[in-house]
Structure 1
Amino acid sequence: MANKALLKRIECAYLPVKDVTASAAWYERVLGLKLRSPIEPGRGAIMIMDSGQWLFLLPCGEGHPLGFETTGWTEDGSPFEMFPICFETDDIRGMHEALGQAGAWMEETVRDEGSCGLQLNFKDPDGNKFQVWQLPVAAGVPTP
């Protein structure tokens, strides 16, 4: 068999939420995603990102946020609550402001990770933890 990767990209992601309607409204209001079609009772919602990729918000009763702890993310091997998904943005500062106005949990400041770009960790109202990333300063991102 050839050494060609058989996976091309992530087409969509499935997120557990307690209240699909409330979560869809939050993703629309705070993150600017678009609802693909009206929400049917007992069903999920499809949110469309700027790239056209989909996020499915699926009902999950009492809620079970995405996430896990790892010791492979810190220099000292201490446990770290990992984010299973890292998004890309063209406006990380605007996102930081929108998350702050919404009262979302997030890191206090946007981190400049040099060649790894600008980064920010945050959670949605259901406790799903994510990272958002913007191109590094050297690649054309204006400095703060």
Structure 2
Amino acid sequence: MNITIHHAFIPHTDPEAALAFYRDILGFEVRNDVGYEDMRWITVGPAGQPGTSIVLHPPAADPGVTEDERRTVLELITKGAYTAITLATDDLDGLFQRLEAAGADVVQEPMDQGYGVRDCAFRDPAGNLVRVNQLP
């Protein structure tokens, strides 16, 4: 049996800002871009890895979510407390420099962690926490 991660879901609050970040800064390719009414779902992923994708989705789009719940979700997203993702690269310092030069919201500069990982962290345009680990 082979199990892989196919999709991870990260909310966005501005589809164009999300595209600028994930496509233009991180270099992910756009695999799908679907709109419905005033909402938009965008699927992106690393080039050469067609089986792994991130779906950037409107937050709390479920029709059963109340306006109070939607506001709570949006507050959690903007604080970086709703969701997070960890990426990995073979050039952590180079990627960090590219993100910093593009004006990304830096949370942590590259550093060696006590648990054996070298990483950095920043927030995407919606406020989601994005950590990046250095590959061995």
In the superposition, the TM-score normalised over structure 1's length comes to 0.67
Higher relative contact order (CA 8 A, sep 6+): 2
Which residue identity is paired with 1:12?
H
* RMSD over equivalenced CA pairs, Å: 2.7
Superposed CA deviations along residues 65-87 of structure 1, whole A, max 9, x for unmatched, are 2536xxxxxxxxxxxxxx73211
Number of aligned positions between the proteins: 117
CA contact (8 A) 1:15 1:55 kept: yes
> 2:13: which partner in 1?
18
- Which structure dedicates a bigger proportion of its chain to helix? 2
Which residue identity is paired with 2:55?
F
In the superposition, the TM-score normalised over structure 2's length comes to 0.70
Unpaired runs of at least 5, structure 2: 61-70
Change (3 A) 1:58 1:38: closer
Change (3 A) 1:32 1:116: same
The whole-number CA distance in structure 1 between the counterparts of 2:17 and 2:42 is 11
Which residue identity is paired with 2:18?
S
> 1:58: which partner in 2?
57
Structure 1 position 40 matched with structure 2 position 35:
yes
SS of 1:60's partner is coil
Alignment partner of 1:67 out of 81, 90, 100: 81
Change (3 A) 1:108 1:60: closer
The whole-number CA distance in structure 2 between the counterparts of 1:127 and 1:133 is 19
The whole-number CA distance in structure 2 between the counterparts of 1:25 and 1:109 is 21
CA contact (8 A) 1:105 1:124 kept: yes
State, as a whole percentage, how many aligned pairs show the same letter: 28
- Which structure dedicates a bigger proportion of its chain to strand? 2
Which residue identity is paired with 2:6?
E
The whole-number CA distance in structure 2 between the counterparts of 1:43 and 1:14 is 13
Structure showing greater Rg: 1
Residue 43 (structure 1) shift: 2.4
Structure 1 position 49 matched with structure 2 position 46:
yes
Unpaired runs of at least 5, structure 1: 1-5, 69-82, 137-144
